[in-house]
Structure 1
């Protein structure tokens, strides 16, 4: 049988397997732009539910109108009309307000996930699903490779936790776009083509053009299972060799330093550095290489990279935030904010508060010394420790402060969940929300 004839059946069977992966009945929020991928996803899920689980699952469709093109509102209405023919509830969420002059695709993505997650909460959805395909995966791998992202650069996960509260699932990551279009064509269903998908000013469009060239079509091997195993190994290394003090200092035992030179150990070290430095991404490859050279020397000394000081001593390796670029944060009563990318602070009192730096020789330095850190490390680390003062300059206690794990708190790929949970524990945080489906970690534990 030709591939074209097999495609409709393969798409529907993928949707059925996806539904079978849920561990409980669910309402699913489907992000539908009107393009072939997302429209095929909605239709396949609808048919799969009707065929095998009509009383177990329900669907809500959502179109995010980014208001970037005059025809976007009409396109959202067309998706609503298509959803109505399936008996599926549809909601349009519009991005109102001014748009940035640069980085528009990244900003649109961030706004899209924000609006989708807010709607998911309102309709009590168990998860958001998107129509990303194997084609999108190949483009993502190529883009990340060309950016020179640090160790562990990877493809998209089939499950990603957004904002610590809702899982975004991608059931079609192993399905080609051509198969989805064949599925729609077999049912005489059309789709919309977004003109931005042909605009070469966007990175993904350029990557797509490169992949169309046979000479660059090979994006390299990517195996999510191997990445999950790598994360599990990195988590074990963190468990054995790392302690974190008050969210300020990561202490790596002298016996564990050698395991941080490459591979899983290096990725674990760079993940720690991202959190200590208040960053949302791993340091680039150049930083990783420079850090390896520094550690290979085996002699005491300090190196600074990505706002983090790597302080090598006979007793171990210590990571702490360098004392520069630390800006104050003012919080009104009842207001919350992010200080230095490292701490989420909520003012639960009745007066205006200021989050500033301790500046050394304060109670934080004394606590770090009492925890067994070398006085020099405690002194330097306390220079970047947060200090909360009221508007009259007095220390206050009516505040909640929690370490932020920027690397995972906005987007946590499912294949990194075991390492993310371990890092959360080191920083005194609870584990992340588990997904509503059987994922890679579930399979690995069987």
Structure 2
């Protein structure tokens, strides 16, 4: 486990404990390590409120933590609106709740109990979904999210071995009844792996494939970064590139470059779907544009432009001191007296009509429609991207350099 932390534990470590065997084993092993290295350990349980037993299970974890002398807190969700995928919604809520909890307690690293078996199940399901290189890299041993480092120190450990450890130490755990419900794809994958083991397709094999794919991904990321520095130009919050050079790139590098540009513009946590991006690539080969994930992609005079689609931001409004579209902040060279009647919103046709010679900035008209501007009622106060002045500036959160920096951080 120590290797997962680079050989040294952080001074304050969080551990997520559901009550199942994997997370309980993680709790106990982390407690032993923290005791030897002088690190403070904190435990957290998320009660999603989706099963009648969940409250009792959270209390079982609380009791165990009290016996072990580990501070413990239960976080409750139970706010699913019934729309979308329940498991995805629960997972996102879990990370957000635990991220907020860690921040409150000045905890920068939280350990999760994923095992080698989880890795194998995940990869088998991704193969069924026809995943590419990124998907077959499997569950990462470490990742940053919500400002927290999430570490999976048991990713090389077998589920059965962890239960043996608990049994030998007379430590009990909770068995989730959904672990036997074949309505879930993960349970189907778990049972399929039992049959595949006879062919040598087991947790070790999947882990080896994941490690191979991680090496391949690193090479692809480097090549994509080199291509981005050669092709991409940033302006107005959008990305432009030479169509001829882009279409000359290998398909996978081209796909990754488009995904990176779209993700940087939208700020979406998850990348655009592969099939949708392949459709965009086909459109670009025909010399036509498309819309994807709230972005508009156009081809004009040998240049491909990718920028925020106006329809995706037309209803976004916020105070001038807030961040607009999760990426734009406004600065004023002079003190501004805001009586609550100033707001940021997309420029749109109405605003562009008040900008005079907007063509002088050299940005596409469709791009400018989706850029931020300051309004007072129906009066346009400032549109720094379409009609620059010395008073107002619109700045990207992280700056344009963040586009190139994130290429190498994936």
Per the TM superposition, whether the score is higher than 0.5 is: yes
1:302 Cα deviation from its structure 2 partner: 2.9
TM-score, scaled relative to structure 1 = 0.73
Equivalent residues, number? 385
Residue in 1 that maps onto 2:16: 31
Return the alpha-carbon distance in structure 1 between the equivalents of residues 393 and 58 of structure 2: 41
TM-score, scaled relative to structure 2 = 0.79
Q: Structure 1 residues 187, 357: CA separation in 2 closer, same or farther (over 3 Å shift)?
A: same
Given candidates 370, 376, 383, the residue that maps to 1:384 is 370
Unaligned runs of 5+ in 2: 384-390
Return the alpha-carbon distance in structure 1 between the equivalents of residues 343 and 132 of structure 2: 35
Match of 1:286, SS?
helix
Given candidates 290, 294, 311, the residue that maps to 1:324 is 311
Alignment of 1:356-435 (within 5 A): 356-360=345-349, 361=352, 369-370=360-361, 372-373=362-363, 378-391=364-377, 393-395=379-381, 426=400
- Contact in 1 for aligned 2:4/2:151 (Cα 8 Å): no
Q: Which has the higher contact order (CA 8 A, sep 6+)?
A: 1
Alignment pair present for 1:81 and 2:69: no
Q: Structure 1 residues 123, 197: CA separation in 2 closer, same or farther (over 3 Å shift)?
A: same
Return the alpha-carbon distance in structure 1 between the equivalents of residues 131 and 355 of structure 2: 35
Return the alpha-carbon distance in structure 2 between the equivalents of residues 21 and 70 of structure 1: 40
Residue in 1 that maps onto 2:299: 312
Alignment pair present for 1:241 and 2:236: no
Residue in 2 that maps onto 1:106: 88
Alignment of 1:182-261 (within 5 A): 182-214=164-196, 221-223=209-211, 224-247=214-237, 249-254=238-243, 256-258=245-247, 260-261=249-250
Q: Structure 1 residues 108, 301: CA separation in 2 closer, same or farther (over 3 Å shift)?
A: closer
Residue in 2 that maps onto 1:157: 140
CA shift digits 1:150-206 (9 cap, x unpaired): 66334221112112x111111112222122112222222221111223333334333
Return the alpha-carbon distance in structure 1 between the equivalents of residues 273 and 403 of structure 2: 26
Residue in 1 that maps onto 2:289: 302
1:20 Cα deviation from its structure 2 partner: 4.3
1:80 Cα deviation from its structure 2 partner: 1.7
Residue in 2 that maps onto 1:47: 32
Q: Structure 1 residues 271, 79: CA separation in 2 closer, same or farther (over 3 Å shift)?
A: same
Q: Structure 1 residues 145, 308: CA separation in 2 closer, same or farther (over 3 Å shift)?
A: farther
1:367 Cα deviation from its structure 2 partner: 6.7
CA shift digits 1:301-323 (9 cap, x unpaired): 43444443333345432212344
1:66 Cα deviation from its structure 2 partner: 1.6
**RMSD value over aligned CA atoms?**
3.7
- Contact in 1 for aligned 2:296/2:309 (Cα 8 Å): yes
Alignment pair present for 1:290 and 2:279: yes
1:76 Cα deviation from its structure 2 partner: 1.5
